[in-house]
Chains A and B, each alone.
Chain A
């Protein structure tokens, strides 16, 4: 079958020049060029605001207001970065974002792996129902849960406590994480488990020593997706955390910018600091991120 298609392909390409006039190919080249132009224009639109942000983060107000938007900063004002890092609490917010994100991601991926393992590999009656429970969670708008969560955390004395946000991050990221893991787990060969059990290996040992290492690539993908979501999360921190020492970057910069509402350089530097880790992660791990986002949405 394949060779037949290949054959037809070659005859087709061989016939092309005679079938199509040169006028036609010029027309084709022209459309292709136009399509390229559209795609590149779109890329510029997507990147331009960020380049502008980088530029004004290195300028002072005078330069921002009196020079063209895309003019290169004449003498880069790195002191903007030093200033916002040392004067405000950006360092604290940054550190909070890092540790809260890491803790939530590790627990989410681990819990999700346990659940996915039990659902895909073990035999029990209610597994489809339990899987359904997790999947419906994907459709719940977080805002509908905000008031009850608020009063719940007041009751159990977790208001203004990082645990409240870590727990909500875990709860709201579990469905997506399980969904991404599912496909990978279904594809794992059963022979490995059988052999391990025959050799007298316990389930726990098998899970930790064999299954988890085998799923490392997909765990990395889900971890990155989780990381992006947690790093950027706003409404939970804004609602549950009130003291500066526990705020994360997204909420912290929002407050901080309020104080510097007229100093564009400082604002630019603050925003750059908040987005740099994600941009760096993207440059290093872009394939995994792309893969995670597609597998996380297409299978829905």
Chain B
């Protein structure tokens, strides 16, 4: 039995195809991104080694820092909104009839492509014919905001579309985790006279701390690499007011054909994602140790 199940040839046959695919198309590209970042290269012609010039340029590029700041803002907003999702899930996971149907309805936007969502929200925000502004006009509001054309609010407008897209996803995850808590624990607390608020705060939330940790990582990393929706809705505009790291990288590489600089941004993005994931896991892991 053991002999059959440790046949090296069969193991290689089963593992190698997938391993080759992921090594060629995921791991070797991330190494190459770092390497291309050291080059001056337009994507077609000869590469010229320029050392860390692209990376030092990155450090003094105000447009890049602006886009990084926007990505950071989106990450902060996303983490804050997790609190709201958690609250909704706590309500939903209480004894609510139709909870199953409701969480499925919440999920629907998450299933659609970001391109379709972006095109739809472009019309929701349309200055004259959009659904928001036609309601505002009929209410007699003056000074109707230009949702996507005003540099001061464009990022918030986009963030509302992001909330709409992902709310169901996080609610679903929290709901599933809350439903996994053994009913007997909650019942025991209730018998001891704990209020619903105390049960949520002292029992339910600590018990799903691990899942909350995962969602924080997902929300932060997801925000850092946010691209599709912004690319379609504003393409980083007006005047860079909604530019994020991924869209800035895409422009440098595929619009201005500065592949070396684009790669440097891409590599930076990768490092940030990995570091942030690591830091969040470390931080939340130490909290856990204190707790138990």
A: residues with CB less than 8 A from B are 2, 5, 8-9, 12, 35-36, 38-40, 42-43, 45-47, 49-50, 52-53, 56, 64-65, 68-69, 111-112, 114-115, 117-119, 121-124, 130, 133-134, 137, 139-152, 167-168, 170-172, 174-175, 193-194, 197-198, 203-204, 228, 231-235, 239, 249-251, 253-254, 257, 264, 267, 271, 274-275, 278-279, 282, 286, 289-290, 293-294, 297-298, 300
B15 touches which of A46, A118, A228, A257 (Cβ 8 Å): A118
B59 on interface, CB distance cutoff 8 Å: no
A46 touches which of B14, B22, B106, B215 (Cβ 8 Å): B106
The reply to whether A139 and B1 form a contact with Cβ atoms under 8 Å apart is no
Q: Which residue of B lies closest to A177 (CB)?
A: B18
The reply to whether B108 and A279 form a contact with Cβ atoms under 8 Å apart is yes
For the complex, give the distance between the alpha carbons of A208 and B29 in Å: 33
What secondary structure prevails in chain B residues at the interface with A? helix
Take A42-B88, A203-B10, A282-B111 as given contacts and tell me if A49 and B116 are in contact as well, using a CB distance cutoff of 8 Å: no
Knowing that A147-B266, A172-B26, A278-B111 touch, tell me 15 more A-B residue pairs with CB under 8 angstroms.
A46-B105, A46-B167, A49-B121, A133-B19, A141-B270, A144-B266, A145-B25, A145-B30, A147-B259, A151-B36, A234-B114, A275-B112, A275-B116, A293-B173, A300-B214
With a 10 A CB-CB cut-off, give which of A52, A64, A254 has the most chain B CB atoms: A254
6 closest A-B pairs by beta carbon, nearest first, are A232-B113, A148-B32, A171-B25, A145-B29, A148-B29, A144-B270
For the complex, give the distance between the alpha carbons of A49 and B122 in Å: 11
The reply to whether A5 and B172 form a contact with Cβ atoms under 8 Å apart is no
8 A Cβ contacts from B83-119 to A: 88, 91-92, 94, 96, 102-116, 119
The reply to whether B111 and A114 form a contact with Cβ atoms under 8 Å apart is no
CB distance from B262 to the nearest CB of A (A): 6
B5 on interface, CB distance cutoff 8 Å: yes
The reply to whether A141 and B253 form a contact with Cβ atoms under 8 Å apart is no
The reply to whether A171 and B214 form a contact with Cβ atoms under 8 Å apart is no
The reply to whether B119 and A257 form a contact with Cβ atoms under 8 Å apart is yes
For the complex, give the distance between the alpha carbons of A249 and B115 in Å: 10
10 residue pairs of the A-B complex, CB under 8 angstroms, read A140-B30, A143-B246, A146-B253, A148-B28, A150-B253, A171-B25, A203-B10, A254-B119, A274-B113, A282-B104
CB distance from B85 to the nearest CB of A (A): 10
The reply to whether B121 and A46 form a contact with Cβ atoms under 8 Å apart is no
Q: Which residue of A lies closest to B215 (CB)?
A: A297
With a 10 A CB-CB cut-off, give which of B131, B191, B259, B262 has the most chain A CB atoms: B131
B290 on interface, CB distance cutoff 8 Å: no
Take A144-B266, A146-B253, A148-B32 as given contacts and tell me if A171 and B121 are in contact as well, using a CB distance cutoff of 8 Å: no
For the complex, give the distance between the alpha carbons of A231 and B115 in Å: 11
The reply to whether B111 and A130 form a contact with Cβ atoms under 8 Å apart is no
B: residues with CB less than 8 A from A are 1-2, 4-8, 10-11, 13-15, 17-19, 21-22, 24-30, 32-33, 36, 43, 88, 91-92, 94, 96, 102-116, 119-121, 123-124, 128-129, 131, 134-135, 138, 164, 167-169, 172-173, 176-177, 184, 187-188, 190-191, 211, 214-215, 217-218, 221, 224-225, 227-228, 232, 246, 249-250, 253-254, 259, 262-263, 266-267, 269-270, 273-274, 277
A111 touches which of B21, B91, B164, B167 (Cβ 8 Å): B21
A114 touches which of B1, B15, B116, B269 (Cβ 8 Å): B15
B225 touches which of A64, A124, A142 (Cβ 8 Å): A142
The reply to whether A122 and B6 form a contact with Cβ atoms under 8 Å apart is yes
A271 touches which of B119, B164, B217 (Cβ 8 Å): B119
The reply to whether B11 and A140 form a contact with Cβ atoms under 8 Å apart is no
Q: Which residue of A lies closest to B222 (CB)?
A: A141
The reply to whether A53 and B266 form a contact with Cβ atoms under 8 Å apart is no
For the complex, give the distance between the alpha carbons of A145 and B262 in Å: 11
For the complex, give the distance between the alpha carbons of A144 and B273 in Å: 10
For the complex, give the distance between the alpha carbons of A111 and B19 in Å: 9
The reply to whether B269 and A130 form a contact with Cβ atoms under 8 Å apart is no
The reply to whether A143 and B105 form a contact with Cβ atoms under 8 Å apart is no
The reply to whether B25 and A122 form a contact with Cβ atoms under 8 Å apart is no
The reply to whether A167 and B21 form a contact with Cβ atoms under 8 Å apart is yes
For the complex, give the distance between the alpha carbons of A145 and B4 in Å: 39
For the complex, give the distance between the alpha carbons of A226 and B211 in Å: 22
CB distance from A62 to the nearest CB of B (A): 11
Residues of A within 8 A of B92 (CB): 39
Take A117-B14, A234-B228, A282-B111 as given contacts and tell me if A141 and B105 are in contact as well, using a CB distance cutoff of 8 Å: no
The reply to whether B29 and A264 form a contact with Cβ atoms under 8 Å apart is no
Q: Which residue of B lies closest to A232 (CB)?
A: B113
Q: Which residue of B lies closest to A117 (CB)?
A: B14
The reply to whether B263 and A53 form a contact with Cβ atoms under 8 Å apart is no
For the complex, give the distance between the alpha carbons of A231 and B92 in Å: 30
